[in-house]
Amino acid sequence: MSQTRWMSIESAIVRILQQWIELKTHFDIARKDERCYTADLLYSMFCDKKNHVFLIFLKQILSEVQSVNKKFEADVQDPTKLLSDLVHLIDSLSAKILMPGKRLKESDALQDYLDPKPYLGYEFEKNMSECKFPEEIASDIRRRCIEFVIELVTQLRQRLPENFKVLQSISSLSGSECLKPVKNDILDLAKLFVNNAEILTRIDFQWRKLHTIQWIQTSDTIGLWAEIVSYRDETGENPFKELSDLAITILSLPHSNADVERVFSQMGIVKSKLRNRLAITSLNAVLTIKYGLRRHGKSCHDYKLPESVLRKIGSLEAYQTSSESPQPSTSTQSPTEGDPREIIEWDLADLQ
């Protein structure tokens, strides 16, 4: 099992535990009939109750990790809550093996405050009591579980960004926080994106009066700021323009590598070995269209092209840039000898 890919083994552990008897029987038959060394080794592992108990512990631990990981991988997510969810996961895992009531500081080492005999979950403790292991074996199993949690927490803490406190301030943009009459200051966060003192003053003023408007999308952070962006007063202007621009800029940033990995995967599908000379502009256009259709809930099967686009198909006009203008044709030659645009249009007309 990989020491870092915690997500990839959770589903495998669940499946193994669900089919424990079946797998044990399968490897027993394979080792007898085929005299397979690997099957014999696996059968001995399935016969060892220590492995079964340890996997039960891993299942309940990794299910918590997987729950948070799915939030980071989701297409629709609230970026203001992702960091707090990750911090809560680290605190929750640490509390399982720490002395009761102990909360670690950034400089504290987890190993210095371990509970001598921590409670590791109902299902784990139930199986431990049913198996009635000798004290030495039971202590060894608990030691393995504690070491796993220590390594997991260490890995997760290493993934916290250095500007942790700055990212924590992004939670102020959530609907439950930004609409409070008394709320955290926004200027420290705004200074990371804006250098103009006049704009910062406007942002601060708009931030302080944001709660005076009766907003509709208060429970959805993205929906709330989309509503603020489209808000207009009696003069037709947005009194929260600078603040909403800042919020959209922050919320548009990728808060995990899931989006980036999806783009790379799609890029590999579009620019395959057979299309390895595809230009960057064409690749960017294809990906823009794919994600644009996805945002609108459509696909290439049900999207209707505008008439203006349909008229350009089969003509050179579709391949001209905005800086180019079509040259009028003065030739009197036949379609087969004249303007290539006429050739294409003539060929398409014949095919209809």
pLDDT digits (tens, 9 = 90+) for 3-62: 445 556 788 899 999 999 999 999 999 998 888 899 999 999 999 999 999 999 999 998
**Average pLDDT over the chain, rounded to whole?**
81
Return the pLDDT at 79: 78
Nearest to 240 by CA among 211, 274, 283, 207: 207
User: Tell me, what's the pLDDT at 45?
Assistant: 93
What count of other Cβ atoms lies within 10 Å of the Cβ of residue 317? Answer: 13
User: Of 18-22, 283-287, 311-315, where does the model show the most confidence?
Assistant: 18-22
Name the residue among 54, 47, 62 with its Cα closest to residue 7.
Answer: 62
pLDDT of residue 343 exceeding 70, the answer is: no
Q: Fill in the DSSP letter of residue 116.
A: S
Assess whether pLDDT exceeds 80 at residue 282.
yes
Strands (E), 140-238: none
- CA–CA gap between residue 51 and residue 203 (Å, rounded): 58
SS3 336: coil
The terminus-to-terminus CA distance of the chain in angstroms comes to 60
The continuous run of DSSP H or E covering 143 comes out as helix 135-158
Residue 318 pLDDT exceeds 70 = no
Instruction: Output the CA angle 12-14-15, nearest 5 degrees.
Output: 65
Confidence of residue 323 (pLDDT cuts 50, 70, 90): low
- What is the per-residue burial (b if ≥16 Cβ within 10 Å, else e) of 110-131? beeebeeebebbeebeebbeee
Rounded to whole angstroms, the Cα distance separating 302 from 323 reads 32
Q: What confidence tens digit (pLDDT) does each residue in 180-236 have?
A: 888 888 888 888 888 999 999 999 999 999 989 999 988 888 889 989 999 998 889
Q: Write the DSSP symbol of residue 114.
A: B
User: In this structure, which amino acid lies at residue 266?
Assistant: Q
Q: Hey, what are 93's tokens?
A: 């895992």
pLDDT of residue 334 exceeding 60, the answer is: no
Task: Show the tokens assigned to 217.
Answer: 């999308």
CA–CA gap between residue 36 and residue 30 (Å, rounded): 7
Closest CA to 129 of 20, 59, 56: 56
Tell me the whole-structure pTM to 2 decimals: 0.68
Q: Residue 137: helix, strand or coil by DSSP?
A: helix
Whose CA is closest to 93, among 114, 64, 57?
A: 64
pLDDT at position 330: 47
Cα–Cα distance for residue pair 298/302, rounded to 1 Å: 6
Q: Residue 84: which pLDDT band, with cuts at 50, 70 and 90?
A: confident
Residue 273 has pLDDT above 90, yes or no: no
Report pLDDT for 320.
Answer: 67
Residue 271 to residues 228, 287, 318: CA-CA distances in angstroms?
A: 39, 10, 22
CA 229/CA 214 separation, integer angstroms: 14
Confidence of residue 163 (pLDDT cuts 50, 70, 90): low
Would you state the pLDDT for residue 172? Answer: 86
Q: Distance between CA 88 and CA 94 in Å, rounded?
A: 10
Of the candidates 52, 71, 56, 46, the one whose C-alpha atom is nearest the C-alpha of residue 10 is: 56
Report whether pLDDT(2) > 60. no
Note the pLDDT of residue 335.
42
pLDDT at 59: 92
pLDDT average, residue stretch 73-80: 74
